[in-house]
Amino acid sequence: MRFFVFGIRPILVFLTLSLLRPVGLGFAQDAPAHTVPERTLPIPSTVSPELQKAMARTCKMPGTPPTMVELMARIHKAEADSEAYVGHIQKDFDVSVEEGRLGGVRIYDVKPAVIAEENRHRLLMNVHGGGYISGRGVGGTSEAVYMAYYGKIEVIAVDYRMPPEFPFPAAVDDSVAVWKEIIKTHTPNDVGIFGTSAGGGLTLATVLRLKELGLPLPGAIMAGTPWSDLTKTGDSYFTNEYVDNALCTYDGDLGAAAKLYAGGHDLKEPLLSPVYGDLSGFPPTVLVTGTRDLFLSNTVRVHQKLLQSGVEAELLVFEAQSHAQYYAEAPETAAAHQEVVQFFDRHLGR
């Protein structure tokens, strides 16, 4: 008997339905779906005190779709806060952020105080998160600042156009436009692309689009908890609903953002939901998520599809983290970045 005494029974019975007669099942009984009772989740002792702090906060329930006015007001407020936040971490991390343009797109050139010897000829391109509707301007560069600091590497952060004025495929077009400029001055294999959440999805969509266009691909990519499926498809949209204290649920701003971004396109188009794309030929890919992440399934589905497509792909799952909490101000953030940085170091051109 291969698992625990109760663990085995439901599985064994299904395995052997045609072989053995079902027997008394202990915990198990037939049922079409699965009801889980209300429960209070303790703050786990298995994460740092800093992460525990970030976990000690709950969701407002139930999630309700916002009006456009509410959504826009929240975005503007969040972007203002983010801009102030980036100002602070820039100083703390001693990283410079300089506005510029590449391929007609606004970018930020993000440089650490010291660039590592092995990274002098390397570059990372970042497409920020924010549900494809938020993260405009310098406030959208925080991921780039973190990576420049931990990786001792220059990062070009793409300030791609967004809804409501510029729905899909503007974000993909801008990301590709910047990439085309970057590879005029860099060997593609020396450049990585990374992003988190919508930025993780956009990283994957960018590579899909580069494949379509027959353009050179990056040497490696990071898809951090990628929004790989814009529909509410994937088990963790349900299992981690309200368990994830960062995103909470699809049934609020998230679903609204998906529609706003898609601008009438089918949400399952691969450039919108890259899990439905042909991922063969992708560069080595590292994926990052957490056990409480609403996008846990979005992440592992891509990981499995990459592996089954013959792509070198690594998965990092952090204990008890909700969506993108590897950006919490906690030791786990350093660990996650070290692991991603090492991944890029192993795979980008030497």
| Binding residues among 283-322 for a second copy as defined by CB under 8 A | 291-292, 296-297, 300-301, 303-304, 307-308, 314-320
Using CB under 8 A as the binding rule, the residues of this chain from 153 to 192 that contact a second copy are none
Stretch that binds a second copy, among 158-166, 181-189, 193-201, 265-273 (CB under 8 A): 193-201
Residue whose CB is less far from a second copy, 183 or 222: 222
The Cα 2–Cα 12 span in angstroms is: 9
Q: Which amino acid is at 324?
A: A
Least separation, in Å, of the C-beta of 98 and a second copy? 19
Taking CB under 8 A as the rule, does residue 273 contact a second copy?
no
Element (H, E) at 222: strand 220-224
Residue whose CB is less far from a second copy, 210 or 256: 256
Using CB under 8 A as the binding rule, the residues of this chain from 35 to 74 that contact a second copy are 35-47, 53-61, 63, 71, 74
Element (H, E) at 184: helix 170-185
Spatial contact of 262 and 271, defined as CB atoms under 8 Å apart: no
Element (H, E) at 338: helix 331-347
Of 90, 196, 206, 273, the one binding a second copy by CB under 8 A:
196
Taking CB under 8 A as the rule, does residue 102 contact a second copy?
no
CB atoms within 10 A of CB 163: 19
The Cα 236–Cα 317 span in angstroms is: 14
CB atoms within 10 A of CB 152: 17
Q: Residue 294, SS3?
A: coil
Using CB under 8 A as the binding rule, the residues of this chain from 4 to 23 that contact a second copy are 4-12, 14-16, 19-20, 23
Q: In what order do the strands lie in the sheet with 155-158?
A: 95-102, 105-112, 155-158, 123-127, 191-196, 220-224, 285-290, 313-318
Least separation, in Å, of the C-beta of 337 and a second copy? 13
Spatial contact of 323 and 246, defined as CB atoms under 8 Å apart: yes
Residue whose CB is less far from a second copy, 135 or 218: 135
Residue whose CB is less far from a second copy, 44 or 349: 44
- Contact string 207-246 vs a second copy (x = CB under 8 A): --------------------------xxxx-xxxxxx-xx
Least separation, in Å, of the C-beta of 216 and a second copy? 27
Residue 80 CA neighbour count, 13 Å, CB half: 5
Taking CB under 8 A as the rule, does residue 112 contact a second copy?
no
For CA atoms 270, 276, 278, 280, give the dihedral sign. positive
Using CB under 8 A as the binding rule, the residues of this chain from 71 to 90 that contact a second copy are 71, 74-75, 77-79, 81-82, 84-85, 88
Least separation, in Å, of the C-beta of 36 and a second copy? 5
Spatial contact of 177 and 103, defined as CB atoms under 8 Å apart: yes
Residue whose CB is less far from a second copy, 152 or 238: 238
Of 124, 125, 129, 208, the one binding a second copy by CB under 8 A:
129
